Amino acid sequence: MSLSGVFFVFLFFPSSILLYRLIPEKWRNSLLLALSLIFISFGNPADLILIGLSTVFNYFTALEIDGLRSMKREKTKKLVLATGIAVNTALLIFYKYFVFLMSNIGLNVNFGIPAAPVGLSFFTFSAISCLCDVSKGDETPLKNPFDFALFISFFGKLSSGPIVKYRDMARQIKDRTMTATSVESGMKLFLIGLGKKLIISGSLGKFFNAFRTQDISTMSTVTAWLGALFYSLMLYYDFSGYSDMAIGIGRIFGFSFSKNFDHPFISSSMTDFWRRWHISLGAWFRDYIYIPMGGSRVSKSRHILNLSVVWLLTGLWHGANWTFVVWGLYHLVLLLLEKMVFKKILKRIPTIIKTILTFLLTVIGWTIFFSDSLSTAEAYLLRMFGLGGSGLVDSMGKYYLASGGILLFVAMIGATPLLSAIGSKIEKRDSVLVKVSTAVFFALLLLISTAFMISETVSSFLYAQF
Amino acid sequence: MQSNQKSPKLWVTSMFLSMVICFNIIALITPDKEFSETENRMLAQSPSVTAKSIADGSAEKNIEKYLSDQFAFRDAWSAISFFTKCYLFREKESNGVYIGKDNYLMLIPSESNPEAMEKKLSSVNAVTEKYGNIRHFISIIPNAVTIMNHKLPSHVPESIQPGQITDISQSLKGITFCDVTGLMKKHQYEELYYHTDHHWTSRGAFLAFTAIAPAMQLNPDNIQYDIYTVSESFEGTLSSKSGSHRYYDKIEIYVPKGEHPVTVKYSDKDETSGTIYQKSFLDTKDKYALFLGGNHPLVTITTTADTDRTLLLIKDSYANCFVQFLTPYFDQIVVVDPRYCYDTVDMIINEYEITDLLYLYNADTFMTDTSLTDLLAFE
């Protein structure tokens, strides 16, 4: 079920809110779990079996690890933990990477791999975080299996993240407070996310699809850059829109999830970018891969190895294709250069230049990311740098600049903190006029989002296929 | 929800819930529509949710399609999204339609599938070869985007259609290819296409006829026409598709002067009619269906022309308003729309003793539609 579809926005979500308010508090978790199961089974009921098996396995594994930890049987605990992680990883590999791995060693997979269950990459990472947190003693396991099932399958975050860590959510399942303020801010965030996804990302996506069908070999430089810009902003609005909706839904039901995006396009370095882009994924890799491997408090060569592992896996997480691997390594190289080679020089460069440079470098990265294969990525990059193709600018480039220029500009302004700063300044004034105009603004946002939802077939969430 | 409404802090939440509830109430009290006049298509109906449809995931898709198809005020929503895109973001296209100058809406041309095209062309060649005793003609009519390019938004890349049409003409053998692009281009400043619809006007069809007639050994100078404006409130398919409702087209008909009685028989209807114009459609949204009553599998038009020529016209909807120029020249015209007709060309040629065969398509349909290949298949 898509969070931005008619069924979810106009039926499932509002009825969930009303039911949640109406039933006694002790039934609320059961309600959320029931709703989550309906949410999963609506797309493909077979997913219920797999998510159910994963839940049961991780629930008992977490209890076992906790038992061994309290008995101080470290070796056995580590063995169980390793098994648990291996089983989760095996699930991920089977559904997402098996065909890719086999084809790379020259084997064709002749049997059909079933489609990956909804949110596989997100919920297996949540499950692994649970096993690790319990093993370290950071958090106790949820004793009630239904509570644990809610942690894995809560419909707000299941399909598209953010990747919620166990230690951030476990306690909230047992004890959370729902205030009017959190509900109201959650609703605002949900509507902002819906607008980002349907109005901006949807429009940018239409343009990008037109670029997709173009012959790369004859593209002009300006056209190539425009296509890359449309994609970069579309991806940001799509993914951060979904994250806003998920976090908003969480807040409405009393959960507090950390933000997943923090204006990534104003980053002044690649390090800064990764503190602002898909924050929950970066945090997961940091906490469960990078730091356990020793992080940066090791020899220089070991540090480089640690980073390499993290960025190889980050690339692969996005999909089973060499383009994602190369995209991950591209970021690795940039980060290493930034940290180890140009550190001193960069300090002397003005922030504005560093920000523009970082933006351009990430846009170049996305061209590798959106290409179907490394050879098309190579051709595309050559066109961006004016090699081959049809010169600096062609009529196609001019047309898309004329037709999509304002949208691009609006999208870029919207990606800076400017609008949210204005918004929070206005909201601080506590007058009825401000409240009425805020409600009118959000009503308009809902109406325009609905217009885009109804008037065209909305492309589905990009990250759901990763 | 009483607690919400009492609390002054929940303005946006209350707004959301009350709006959503309103839409649900409207959806419940308004009966489902079967057909959308503005979009000219059947709407999804209440899906039957069965264990099987849930299991294979089709239930979700069907419910989502049903809800959005039956959502209240569909036209208003597309107008709002058009307004946002074209006034706020100043975009030059909406939903596959260029927003041209002077309220001209033009379909963005489609690419063809090379394999399907090759099949289509070789089946045309096979029919030409098999029926060497009859005359074969084909004309592919370029769309507005190619002819009226001065009305396009600035910098729109050059139309791919002239290249596509040339490729087609070069792949065909033994058939007379009637080129109309050059002549129509010369007259591009006339109203050859509707502003709000993807069809050509009667004026456009007449102009093409003057180019096609000599190739078909018809003398267009023999006939004069009375031109009548039958509607000035036509809002066509491109208005609905793009969401732009800012212009009304007029529809003209060209009626040959003198006595040219016709008997029109539709294969999917019992009645016969004495005219090719079905004026009742002028009271509906789909006013272009005035010509031959829209698309039918097979229509026979019998005339008193006494020329010993019987024409098989294999066509799409562009030909519907072209037929008015053909009636004085043939004893009988058999109009076949392969998209709805399940007969084979063999059956039709033999049954009606065809002497002339004309394929008449607009470029966009010819590039994308594959039903012609099925019609031309031999048993």
Position A226: which residue type? L
Confidence bin at B39 (pLDDT 50/70/90): low
Bridge partner residues of B336 (DSSP): B298, B314
Asked whether the bond before A162 is cis by omega within 30 degrees of 0, the reply is yes
Of A261, A122, A272, nearest to A192 by C-alpha is A261
Residue B126 scores a pLDDT above 60: yes
Beta bridge partners of B301: B264, B333
pLDDT at B8: 54
3-state helix, strand, coil in chain B (%, to 5): 45, 20, 35
Q: ∠ at Cα B176 (B175, B182), nearest 5°?
A: 140
For residue B227, give Cα distances in angstroms to A107, B193, B230, B254, B255.
71, 16, 9, 5, 6
Position B34, amino acid: E
Per-residue pLDDT of A348-364, as tens digits, reads: 999 999 999 999 999 99
| CB-CB neighbours of A309 under 10 Å | 15
Q: What is the pLDDT of residues A412-457, one digit of tens each?
A: 999 999 998 998 888 888 788 888 889 999 999 999 999 999 886 4
pLDDT for A370 equals: 94
Q: Kindly state the tokens that stand for B207.
A: 């102009």
**How many Å apart are CA A170 and CA A139, to the nearest integer?**
8
Take residue B46 and report the two structure tokens written for it.
């209440």
Q: Is the pLDDT of residue A460 over 60?
A: no
Phi first, then psi: give them for residue B40, nearest 5 degrees: 55, 50
Enumerate the domain spans of chain B: 2-73, 101-376
pLDDT tens digits, A245-269: 999 999 999 999 999 999 999 999 9
What's the pLDDT at A124? 94
Cα A188–A416–A182 angle (5° rounding)? Answer: 20
Residue B7 scores a pLDDT above 50: no
- How many angstroms separate the CA atoms of B60 and A43, rounded? 6
pLDDT of B332 > 90? The answer is yes
Q: Decide if A398 and B23 are in contact by the 8 Å CB cutoff.
A: no
Q: Are strands B356-362 and B310-315 parallel, antiparallel or unpaired?
A: parallel
Residues recorded for chain B: 379
H helices present in A296-350, as ranges: 300-317, 322-336, 343-348
Q: How many CB pairs under 8 A join A and B?
A: 140
- Retrieve residue B233's tokens: 């409130």
The mean pLDDT value of chain B amounts to 90
pLDDT at A16: 96
Compute the C-alpha angle B317/A206/A156, nearest 5°. 120
Burial annotation B89-102 (CB, 10 A radius, 16+ → b, else e): bebbbbbebbbbee
DSSP symbol at A264: G
Instruction: Tell me the whole-structure pTM to 2 decimals.
Output: 0.88
- Of A34-48, A313-327, B168-182, least confident by mean pLDDT is A34-48
Say if residue A217 is exposed, middle or buried (CB neighbours under 10 Å; 0-12, 13-18, 19+): exposed
ipTM above 0.85, yes or no: yes
Q: Nearest by CB to A448, which of B20, B63, B80? A: B80
Which among B13, B63, B156 has the least Cβ separation from residue A399?
A: B156
Question: Two tokens at B160?
Answer: 């791919």
Determine how β-strand B310-315 pairs with β-strand B332-336: parallel
Name the residue facing B10 among A5, A14, A180 (closest C-beta).
Answer: A180
Does A203 contact B at CB distance below 8 Å?
Answer: yes
Residue A110: its pLDDT value, please?
64
Q: How confident is the model at residue B42 (pLDDT cuts 50, 70, 90)?
A: confident
Phi, psi for residue A219 in degrees, rounded to 5: -70, 145
The answer to whether B375 and B344 are in contact (CB under 8 A) is yes
Contact residues on chain A for B84, CB-CB shorter than 8 A: 199, 448, 451-452
Answer whether B53's CB lies under 8 Å from B47's CB.
yes
- Best of B4, B5, B9, B11 to disrupt the A interface (most A CBs within 10 Å) is B11
Give A196's DSSP letter: I
